[in-house]
Each structure stands twice: as C-alpha cells, then as structure tokens.
Amino acid sequence: MKKLLAVLLSMALLFASCANNPNDTNSNSPDTNPDNAPSSLSSFSIPFSDNDSFNPYTVKSSLNIAIMPLLYDSLVTVDNSFGFSPLLAESIVRTDPLNISVTLKNGITFSNGTAMTAEDVVYSFYQGKNSSSYFSSKLSNFSKAAVSEGKIIFTLSSPEDSAENNLDFPITSRAAGNINPIGSGRYTLDSASYSLIPNHNYFKQTEFTLEKISCVSIPYDDSLFTAIKSGSIDIVPAELSLGSFVGTYCNTKSVHTSNFVFLGVSGTDALLDTALRKYISASLNRSSAASGIPVSTFTPSSLPIHPMKSNVFELNLNFTEKNPDAKTLLPSESYSFSDAGNLFKGENKISLSLLYLNENSEKNMIANAIADILSDAGIEVQLVGKNYNEYLSEVAAGNFDLYLGETKLTNSLNLNPLLTSSAFALSPSEELKNIYSSFNSGEKSLSEFLSAFSEELPLIPLMFKNTALTYSKSVSSDMSVSITDSYLSLQNIR
C-alpha cells in the first residue's frame, strides 16, 4: 500500500513543482491578484498547430481544439462539476425524456455583425454531428434538430441524463458556409499574422486587456515544455497532458475531465463470482493516491460516474478508502486464506493476469501499484504489458483476467457506450442495463442505478483523470478554466 502511495504521488509531484499555494487543491494562484489593475502584460502568446485548421468541425490537434471556444461560442458551457450553464441559450427546457427545447438569446451577432438565428444553430448541429470531429461522438445520441415556433428542438435517440451538457458544439454562420466558418466568440482570427483580435461585436460587455494575442506554431507536443520555459508561449491548454511541464516559472489550474480509468473484467471462472469482484474493489485504497497532493492528477472513484458531478457528490456514495471489512465479502464456505496470506477458492489459489498498455508510463505505474495492492489482499497478479496494437488485440480477444482500461466519456457522462461495449468478456446484465435506461428516463433514481452497479460490478472503477492549465508566472491575474474552455478568462488576463 505504501508503494501505491509513493508511485502515484511521484506522478502528481510532477505537477506540484509548479505549485504556488500547496494548501489549494484546485488551483495554484499567482502571487498577486489585482482585480482592477491595468494589464502588466504587453504581449501574450498561446500555442497552435499550423498543420491543422481553425475550422471547429475539421480541427484535430489538441492545441487548436483548445482555441475553438475563443472563436466560436456554444449554447452552453460545462463547469468543473459537470453542470451546464446557458451561454448563447436564453433557456433550455427538457420537455420530455427525448426532447430538449432551446430558446436563443436575442441580439446575438456573429463577429462580422450579422444576426445569429435558430437556423444557424440547426445548421451547426448537423455540421458537428455529420463531421469526423470530436463533436460527432458528443452528438451521437441526438437524432435530429429542428426549428419550431422560434425554438430549437433537439431530439434524442434514447433518454440520456444530462444530455444538455453535450450542446456545447460551436455555432457558426450558415450563410458563411463551412470553408471559412464565422463564429460569435470573444475573438476573431487574423489569418495573415496568426493573431487573435478581440471581437467587439461580442454579446457580453467585455473589457479586453490586450488588443492582440499571438498564436505561436508548436510542431510537436513535446516542444511545449521548451516553449513555455523559454517564454515563446505563455500558456499550455488543459487539453494537453502536463506531466512533464515542471518548474517554478509556472502556475497551474486543475480541471476535471470525463476520462474514466477502470479495471475491465473477463468472464473467467474466478471472476464470474461477484463476491471476488467486490472483494477486489473493496481492497483498493483509491483515495490514498490523491491525499495531500497540491494538484492531483486524478480523482479517485469507486463509481462509474464522476464523483464530483453535483448530483453524485450529494449522494456521498464514493467509497475510495480500502474497506477494512473487505474479507467479509467473501463467503467463508468458498474462500479461505493460507498462513502466508494467499487467497484460495477451495483448493485453487487465486491468481490473475492484469493486461495494460506498457508504452504509457502512467499506465505502467498504475498497473504495478494495483498489482501490489492485490498482492497485499492475497491475490497473485501476473502483469502483462503490451504495446498499443497488441493491447487492443488482446482486449478484443479476451486474453486477460483484468485489464487496465481508459475511455473518454462525453460531458453528459453517458455510460451507454461503455455498458454496451464489446470489450467486455463479462457483459453487464440486462437487468443492470434496464435500470440504467430507467434512470435516464427518470423512472429510477441515480442512487438506485449506482447501488445496482455496485452490486454487479461488471467493471471496477478506479479514477477519473484530471488535467491542468499551465501558465507563466508573469500573469498576475488568476486564470479560470472549465471543462469546455481552457481559456475561459483569457480576455481578462493581466
């Protein structure tokens, strides 16, 4: 157990060296924060990829994806507790389990001064849904959008809790088309100088502290460390993995993500027993990995929905400490421990393989830490590290007892793609799927679903990953960041 803490602490301490306030677990604030002072910055630079576009529906790189909310506003924004707030929307009403009615704010214009209409929203919806962009998966459960009596009606293929969170797709002008799209964001792009220029047609009254923000081409993600250290750029967006960005020259602001890390479970004889799966889960001390870390790299979770989501947090069902009574979950007539502490079922020693991606240093550390935990719990673990292609093949073939998996959920934290995934040799029961469907349609409560999930455990939740905005200490203002916008307060930077 001590090795688990040491290993995962070492991961998080890569962030900690950027810290300015070791007692703040959510952000590292700059030394001063003169809210009303004039900007002390004469220039500011953000990274981008010149091998990618600034079109929100063709963009691929994490650097350019982070810039999209600056150029294109959306109907909603999603905060760090996975709650949505209207942005371009005046109101959002779930009229029934399958339909969401949205009223657009009056007086919204695009950056070229033309009025935004409900038809522009519908146009943008289909641009995102039919694209190969990262918005396509978010909108996959929406079957259509249409204008009715001035409102935009979004229709879901199946009921989905918090589907409103996925209405964060960029709104672009239908008249301008999709070759050179025009948005309504806080900035416009000067493509000649690769600079962001304040949008003075912006619908919110905004005092821009800088009249230009430079975009600096960074050819490889690995170059970001050198660029921010040298001062070529002043910020690294939260979309990037920041594990190597260390030094006393930077501040950080932590943000949650929907990246869910779990133990996939096979249908082997030993793990078909729900009692053993529960014992494994109860033996994991998930919270020790985040304890006392200034900027945590993950949020430990025994639940398949992010524990910081407001309606989940209120239930207080996220048990991340090792259960001291874990052994009582094993029927004494079937299981026993040897004098050496090894777990047996009948005369068979419990020995499991754990498949993981060995090309990723973080996955290496987590897999080894889990092996140590389960060894302490009396379960022998054989670690099986594979490269990316081999890992995928082994998972697809079911050649594992346990595998260390990670998937990016949508902002709604919808579990349907996961519960119906072919990656599980041990499929969730139809009863559990039905309970989840009933929760999404409002017929069952969240606590009923989570209790049913915990009773069955078709997979074993471990954590949700966090990431962090990294920015220069020359910035005197505090920086705000949300799940949907790394550069949330860039216009007010000082």
The pLDDT score that the predictor gives to residue 321 is 85
Check: CB of residue 251 under 8 Å from CB of residue 392.
no
Q: Is 405 inside a domain boundary?
A: yes
- Out of 139, 161, 188, pick the residue that ends a domain: 188
**Residues contacting 190, CB < 8 A, separation 6+:** 196, 197
Going by pLDDT thresholds of 50, 70 and 90, the confidence category of residue 286 is: confident
Are 80 and 171 contained in the same domain? Answer: yes
The pLDDT score that the predictor gives to residue 357 is 95
- Out of 134, 157, 188, pick the residue that ends a domain: 188
Are 343 and 443 contained in the same domain? Answer: yes
Window from 190-204, 332-346, 463-477 with minimum mean pLDDT: 463-477
Instruction: Give 17-62 pLDDT, tens digit per residue.
Output: 343 333 333 444 344 344 444 455 778 999 999 999 999 999 999 9
Going by pLDDT thresholds of 50, 70 and 90, the confidence category of residue 310 is: confident
The pLDDT score that the predictor gives to residue 381 is 96
Q: Is 491 inside a domain boundary?
A: no
- Out of 141, 169, 188, pick the residue that ends a domain: 188
Q: Please compute, for residue 312, the number of CA atoms within 13 A of its CA located in the half-sphere on the CB side.
A: 21
Q: Is 113 inside a domain boundary?
A: yes
Q: Which two tokens stand for residue 240?
A: 């990037």
Window from 156-170, 209-223, 440-454, 456-470 with minimum mean pLDDT: 209-223
Domain range for 130 is: 51-188
Q: Is 20 inside a domain boundary?
A: no
% of the chain exceeding 70 in pLDDT: 87
- The amino acid that residue 213 corresponds to is I
Are 270 and 392 contained in the same domain? Answer: yes
Mean pLDDT across the stretch 428-436? 94
Instruction: Give 134-188 pLDDT, tens digit per residue.
Output: 889 999 999 999 999 999 999 999 999 999 999 999 999 999 998 899 999 999 9
The pLDDT score that the predictor gives to residue 252 is 82
- Most confidently modeled of 1-5, 118-122, 419-423? 118-122
**Residues contacting 58, CB < 8 A, separation 6+:** 131, 132, 133
Region of residue 75 (phi > 0: left; psi between -120 and 50: alpha; otherwise: beta):
alpha
Are 176 and 262 contained in the same domain? Answer: no
Q: Is 93 inside a domain boundary?
A: yes
Are 291 and 395 contained in the same domain? Answer: yes
Are 160 and 270 contained in the same domain? Answer: no
| CATH of residue 377 | 3.10.105.10
Read off the pTM. 0.88
Crossing angle of the two packed helices 274-283 and 361-376, in degrees rounded to 10: 110
**Which stretches of 283-361 are assigned E, i.e. beta strand?**
298-300, 335-337, 343-345, 348-349, 351-357
The pLDDT score that the predictor gives to residue 238 is 78
Mean pLDDT across the stretch 100-121? 97
Are 159 and 271 contained in the same domain? Answer: no
Mean residue pLDDT of the chain comes to 86
Instruction: Give 60-91 pLDDT, tens digit per residue.
Output: 999 999 999 999 999 999 999 999 999 999 99
Check: CB of residue 41 under 8 Å from CB of residue 474.
yes
The Cα–Cα gap between 481 and 401 comes to: 39
Check: CB of residue 75 under 8 Å from CB of residue 171.
yes
Location of structure tokens 């190969």: 132
Q: Is 122 inside a domain boundary?
A: yes
The pLDDT score that the predictor gives to residue 425 is 63
Q: Is 196 inside a domain boundary?
A: no
The pLDDT score that the predictor gives to residue 241 is 54
Q: Is 172 inside a domain boundary?
A: yes
Domain count for the chain? 2
| CATH of residue 76 | 3.40.190.10
Is 293 a residue whose pLDDT tops 60?
A: no
Mean pLDDT across the stretch 363-370? 87
Are 266 and 176 contained in the same domain? Answer: no
Are 317 and 404 contained in the same domain? Answer: yes
The pLDDT score that the predictor gives to residue 267 is 80
Phi, psi of 349 (to 5 degrees): -70, 135
The pLDDT score that the predictor gives to residue 479 is 86
Q: What is the DSSP string of 401-454?
A: SEEEEEEE--TT---HHHHT-TT-SSPPPHHHHHHHHHHHTTSS-HHHHHHHHH
The Cα–Cα gap between 357 and 350 comes to: 23
Are 171 and 272 contained in the same domain? Answer: no
